[in-house]
Structure 1
């Protein structure tokens, strides 16, 4: 950040009053910049002359800033130029942005007004808070680089790694950029070879294993929520990440949502099984929901038969019949590669 000399890059506390924003580092003694006047202040976090700090304990890269309401035009993302709109979803939008260092990123803007209740909006925010601290601990996670929440609390955003271009071209002409997701890859190629299915799944399962060991679940795994960065598949769209629980609100997408609900690791394994089925078969799972065709007649060799057996167990409606964990499923797929 320009002018914040000696300041830690790990930011976890912000406070604001009106259009005044304060940026605080996580240490006890901080430098502060008054964004309206450009003046610098030093002191302890609790001595901020504006409102008491809103603390996001344990999180990194958090920033509160003022900006336009997304519905009225392009959002303002701190230290980034907003280049163009990429996609619109149920709860917000994704924008192509460029950092002050010239690096292209993706910024997801989540709007409060898109939710039926404040509780649902806060659930999305909580998902980001859960995932952000661990997002850079595994190559199978999309890296969250910055998070912000506007002062009037009508929207928040997070900046993340940009997916590869589907055309396999560097992101130079942003007007032609198309993000490479697993959904886009399947739409283009229809189905993937067994080895590629296994390699994609193993990367994601190792990431899931880390997520589950942290007591978290993704709850909305599907091809559209898996992006490629430098050719590596990564779990993305992390607003549904939550702590593991037996009950509570069940979220997810048709075709990938486990029948028992999405609060436990077994639910993520079911979703992964459905993704494996779609990669291998070329059948659009979301369109058929539970009526998936039997692939047995089209299997060509022993490897495909063993692979399909793993898929069937992972997609079992009975959680007890599925692999015991993400790590266990990954090991089964690894053994398949050794045949």
Structure 2
């Protein structure tokens, strides 16, 4: 939890504040809802100004040459090497025309394949507009994480307890194409899903964070729900079927999983049957061989006990 709260700090770059778990618990005990946190005036004015101006009227930034190293390369850098990614020009990040934050252009190009492609083509572009379906606070969490971890010892991208917020962070990191920053978040969600700790509302929220049927999070949800259906552990069948009707892609994926497992079970059963037949043939052949040996003149004087020991009586 410390990592997510540290990523959300108010500073001159406009990262959004988020209450830590202990702060939320303390406020809950006092029966007081968290007070809304106003955006910094500088951030409000900057967002309004950028949104109201054509791109050509915003000052361009200097072009830089920065390779895209993604998470594999980023986590291998020393603290000093990560710190150097903060040097140089900054660009504004926008979602739905609203400024989320400023961030080092060099850092963003290093950790985001999406940003690297865009900023390599538009080398002096002062802003980067991200897809509208992303949550602004989730984007701030991911980019705030990368900014923070350049100044401290390395740690993984964190997440809050709220499932919908966590799903948004997963979606933002995956959309930015960070090469794996979202995996720590996916691991947490996978645990919650397979522990059957989530209700239909949470599952619906997570499905909305998935990028199609091949999204790893979608596959986790489909496998879990297919398993629940197969083991007849769905709770109230009516609610389960209603949920599947609302998510036809999920229902189709579950049917595919069922068919795949059914084919594997049949294949396993066929292999078992073939193995038993082979064992029976081998046993029959061994018995026949002993009988053939018994026909040898030198073995005709076997006692009954010896004959029983070799299976002839």
Range into which the TM-score falls when normalised by the shorter chain: under 0.3
Decide which structure has the larger Cα Rg and report it.
2
TM-score, normalisation: structure 1: 0.26
TM-score, normalisation: structure 2: 0.28
